[in-house]
Structure 1
Amino acid sequence: MVVLGEVLVEVHAGTALREAADGTPARLSYSGDALNAAAAAAAAGARTALLAVVGDDELTAPLLRRAAELGVDTSHVRRAPRPNGAYLLAADPDGDRAFVYWRTASAGSTLSTGHIASWRTVLSRTKALITSGITGALSESSREAVVAAAETVHACGGHVSYDPNHRSRLTDRAAARSLLARVAPHTGLLKSSCPADAVALVDTADPGTAAVRYRALGARAVAVTAGPDRLLLDDGTAARLHSVPANPDPVDATGAGDCFTGTATARLALGDGLADAVAYGAAAASLSVSGRGGTGRVPSFCETRALAAIHRAATGAA
């Protein structure tokens, strides 16, 4: 399977950003929704490649090295004579997070349909593609690249997972809704947050209504996260609300949604049914919040499967 999107340099501050002062400690890492999802997919057992454009600065080599350490194939990654995008993050276990981004004219924003054409062989043969609204919001060329990739994979019989992941600092509602309308008909699994994404994109704070509206746009199955402990899955035949396994030691929820999408998509590509794949995604996402930053904790599939089984037995889920 392949993940199309942006890789970012991550600087994790040791204190709230408003309280940061000279000498504030920080941790350097690598993240971005594409890398987070790709790392989770690889950990879930899928052979996973990253389709991205990275920069020519001094952080490119360690960035790619980290991706490889996470089990992600970087042989298809392209380079551009631009800096890598970066962000500064401060987070706490309750989910309160603050971000400062440096993305303007980044290498990732140069993603285009030309790149998609160069990856056509990979895309036409893959079992699954993950991409997102963040990727499509980086630039006009990135938006067209997301659509072209989704069209290519769907036309060749592959599965597409799409996370609208609306970011108002990157794009306005109209552009995000337009991209969603173009990608949804090619999507096998659409993952959305509620109320954040749902209010912005389909005008509702109700998870069930959101799922119905996403499916009306063409998505065949929809997973709507409604807070840290609930998830609604609508496969077109029924909509069911599921509880999410609790993490007794939460640290930082950054990347948890990406971990869900990466894990669930990997398991679909490997032949699991939708309900099982989503249950594994929820378990992996729960485990991931024990780490700091987007790729600070990428659970192995053994851990994910064990937690999903424990949760299933405790809740009596089918």
Structure 2
Amino acid sequence: MNGIASIGECMLELTGSGADWRMGHSGDTFNVIWTMRALLPENRPTDYVSAFGDDAFSAQQRAFFAENGIGTASSPRIPGARPGLYAISLDGAERSFTYWRADAAARRLADDAALLSKSLENRSLVYFSGITVAILEEAQRPTLLQSIEAARGAGSLIAFDPNYRPRLWQSAEAARTAIDGALSVADIVLPTFPDEQALYGDTALATTAERIANAGPKEVVVKDGAEPALVVMGTDSSTVAATHVANPVDTTGAGDSFNGGYLAARLLGHNPVEAARRAHRVAAAVVQVRGALAPVEVLREAFDG
């Protein structure tokens, strides 16, 4: 079991301004698998598990994945469906987003339980996020978690980032219920403190780590932007300083690249503290380029220090 799978939605990404717009491919869980693909050995199977449309943009997206060594396992193709779309507007390095995703194919990634389970077979690691859960209809969320739990029972390590985005949820209560369910099937959790503070009212990184550990996961890394991260493994905890960037260009995908760097480091045998150091370097490199996907050579150079 050495394959990697990340589950979620990859959208079409528009970046730019005025008459100068570029189209790319991005999404929180895709950004993570992109980073892991860059940092792990080429012979490790890497798949993005989702659902895709049958339009030209979906075909372009799958081709982009294949060109970069990322498969789609048994992900279904939905007739008449298409990818979601978002545009990034920048104010300095900070960004805001406008989304068009209501009828995106990825919302149906858990419609076929057999195909989803097949996509997660023989994986050393399976990754998903709160956004993965949020885009599904409520009735399909148990199918997702059952498939992930089955993979875990077969020996897969499960990693999860709650990645709370209020606009995707009917209510904060619905988000807490769904995310708490996801925590129960996870081994490694990579939350962002401001998100946890907004959803759960946590007062400190340690509060977040303790609450999540009490739900079952034994490895928790609480990110806090440019501030130090808190790394908790069982009864051990450490803070790991972020890599300072004086003039960030675009913070899109920084947390996702941290997650990808951290998980790649753990799979390569690094301890949690060293993994967090490498992850901070990767995130620092990503905020110095535009868009969520940094070039592979940039990621590798940052990871190796």
Equivalent residue number for residue 120 of structure 2: 123
Aligned to 1:132: 129
Structure 2 SS opposite 1:59: helix
Superposed CA offset, 1:34-66 (max 9, x none)? 221110010111531111112222211221222
C-alpha contact 2:241 2:277 (8 A) present in aligned 1:
no
Superposed displacement of residue 126, structure 1? 0.4
Provide the secondary structure at the position in 2 that maps to 1:174. Answer: helix
Task: State the 1:298 CA deviation.
Answer: 4.6
Alpha-carbon separation, structure 2, partners of 1:145 and 1:24: 43
- Please give the alpha-carbon distance, in whole angstroms, between the structure 1 residues aligned to 2:57 and 2:203: 40
Structure 1, 163-172 or 238-247: larger mean CA deviation: 238-247
How much has 1:252 moved relative to structure 2? 0.9
SS of the residue corresponding to residue 218 of structure 2 reads coil
Could you tell me whether the CA contact under 8 Å between 2:35 and 2:299 is conserved in 1? no
Kindly provide the CA deviation profile for residues 53-103 of structure 1, in whole angstroms up to 9, marking residues without a partner as x: 122222112212222233312343321121210101112454x21111111
Deviates more, 1:156-165 or 1:143-152: 143-152
* Cα distance between partner residues in 2 of 1:130 and 1:6: 12
Secondary structure at the counterpart of residue 97 of structure 1: strand
Counterpart code for 2:244: A
In structure 2, how many angstroms separate the alpha carbons of the residues matched to 1:209 and 1:54? 39
The 1:277–1:152 alpha-carbon spacing in structure 2 relative to 1, beyond 3 Å, is farther
CA gap of 1:126–1:75, structure 2 versus 1, over 3 A, is closer
Relative to structure 1, is the Cα distance of residues 300 and 251 closer, same or farther in structure 2, using a 3 angstrom cutoff? closer
C-alpha distance in structure 2 between counterparts of 1:204 and 1:198, whole Å? 6
Mark the CA change 1:275 to 1:170 in structure 2 (over 3 Å): closer, same or farther.
same
C-alpha deviations, 1:105-143, integer Å up to 9, x for none?
Answer: 2101111152x4224344231000110000110122553
When structure 1 is superposed on structure 2, of 261-270 and 215-224 the one drifting more is 261-270
Q: Which amino acid aligns with 2:174?
A: A
Where in structure 2 are the equivalents of 1:172-211 lying within 5 Å? 172-195=171-194, 197-211=195-209
C-alpha distance in 1, partners of 2:64/2:121?
Answer: 27
Task: Using the aligned pairs only, state the percent identity.
Answer: 29
1:201 is displaced (CA, Å) by 3.2
Partner of 1:275: 273
Structure 2 contact 35–257 (Cα < 8 Å) conserved: yes
* Residue of structure 2 equivalent to 1:25: 20
Contact 2:13 2:87 in 1 (8 A): yes
Is 1:4 matched up with 2:7?
yes
Within 5 A, what are the aligned runs for 1:280-291?
280-291=278-289
Q: CA RMSD in A?
A: 2.1
Higher strand proportion: 2
Change (3 A) 1:244 1:149: farther
Preserved contact between residue 223 and residue 233 of structure 1 (Cα < 8 Å): yes
1:109-120 to 2 correspondence within 5 Å?
Answer: 109-112=107-110, 114=112, 116-120=113-117
Tell me the secondary structure at the aligned position of residue 6 of structure 2: strand
Shift of the 92–7 alpha-carbon distance from structure 1 to 2, 3 Å rule, reads same
Q: Displacement of 1:32 after TM fit?
A: 0.8
SS in 2 for 1:209: helix
Distance in 1 of aligned mates of 2:237 and 2:198: 21
Task: Assess, with a 3 A threshold, how the Cα gap between structure 1 residues 40 and 93 changes in structure 2: closer, same or farther.
Answer: farther
- 1:103 aligns with 101
Query: What amino acid is aligned across from residue 87 of structure 1 in structure 2?
Result: Y
Alignment CA distance shift 1:219-1:201 (3 Å): farther
Are residues 103 and 142 of structure 1, via their aligned partners in 2, closer, same or farther at CA, if it must alter by over 3 Å?
farther
Structure 2 Cα separation of the partners of residues 76 and 277 of structure 1: 31
Equivalent-residue separation in structure 1 for 2:154 and 2:200 (angstroms) = 29
Q: Does 1:38 align with 2:33?
A: yes
Residues 301 and 34 of structure 1, relative CA distance in 2, 3 Å threshold: same
- 1:232-247 map, 5 Å: 232-247=230-245
Unmatched runs of 5 consecutive residues or more in structure 1: 15-22, 308-318
